[in-house]
Structure 1
Amino acid sequence: MKKLFFMGFALLLCAMWPADAAAQLKIGGRKLNTGKLLEAGKDVAKAVTLSDKDIAQLSREAVEWMDANNPIADETTEYGARLKRLTEGITEINGLPLNFKVYHVVDVNAFACGDGSIRVFSALMDLMDDDELMAIIGHEIGHVVHADVKHAMKNAYLSSAARNAAGAAEGSTLAKLSDS
Structure 2
Amino acid sequence: MKKLSLIAVALLLAACNTVPNSGDANSKAAETAAAANAAAAAEAPAEPAAPKVVMVSDVELKSLAVQMQTRLDASNPLGPRDRYVLRLARLTAKLKTEDGLNLNFKPYRNPSLDATTSPDGSIRVYSGLMDTLNDPELLAMMGREISFVQNGSAMTRLRAAYQAFDGAKTVTTFSSALDNLSDADLQAIGEQVENNAFTEGAELEADDYSLVFLKQNHRDPRSLERAFRKLAVKSQRDKSAALLYPDAKSRADRVRDLLAVKK
User: Could you say which TM-score interval applies, normalised by the shorter chain?
Assistant: 0.5 to 0.7
Counterpart residue number, 1:41: 52
Per-residue deviation, 1:102: 0.6
Q: Contact (CA 8 Å) 1:71, 1:105: kept in 2 or not? A: no
**What secondary structure does 2:78 align onto?**
coil
In the superposition, relative to structure 1, how do residues 124 and 51 fare at CA in structure 2: closer, same or farther (>3 Å)?
Answer: same
* 1:85-128 Cα distance to aligned partner (Å, 9 max, x none): 21121111343311100112222211011111110011110011
* 1:31-81 Cα distance to aligned partner (Å, 9 max, x none): 6421xx2xx332xx32xxx2221122111100100000113353x222112
Uncovered stretches (5+) of structure 2, i.e. residues with no partner:
1-40, 170-263
Instruction: Report the Cα distance in structure 2 between the residues aligned to 1:68 and 1:163, rounded to whole angstroms.
Output: 27
Q: Contact (CA 8 Å) 2:61, 2:159: kept in 1 or not? A: no
- Measured on the aligned residues, the alpha-carbon RMSD in Å equals 2.6
Counterpart residue number, 1:12: none
Aligned length: 127
**What secondary structure does 2:142 align onto?**
helix
**What secondary structure does 2:52 align onto?**
helix
Identity of aligned residues (%): 32
Instruction: Report the Cα distance in structure 1 between the residues aligned to 2:102 and 2:150, rounded to whole angstroms.
Output: 12
**What secondary structure does 1:119 align onto?**
strand
Instruction: Report the Cα distance in structure 1 between the residues aligned to 2:166 and 2:72, rounded to whole angstroms.
Output: 27
Counterpart residue number, 2:117: 112
Instruction: Report the Cα distance in structure 2 between the residues aligned to 1:161 and 1:65, rounded to whole angstroms.
Output: 19
Structure 1 counterpart of 2:159, from 154, 158, 162: 154
**What secondary structure does 1:88 align onto?**
coil
**What secondary structure does 1:140 align onto?**
helix
Instruction: Report the Cα distance in structure 2 between the residues aligned to 1:30 and 1:109, rounded to whole angstroms.
Output: 50
Counterpart residue number, 1:69: 75
Larger relative contact order (Cα-Cα within 8 Å, sequence gap ≥ 6): 1
**What secondary structure does 2:147 align onto?**
helix
1:53 matched to 2:59? The reply is: yes
Relative to the length of structure 2, the TM-score reads 0.43
- Give the aligned residue type for 2:115: A
- Give the aligned residue type for 2:48: N
**What secondary structure does 1:143 align onto?**
helix
Uncovered stretches (5+) of structure 1, i.e. residues with no partner:
1-25, 165-180
Identify, as 1 or 2, the structure richer in strand: 1
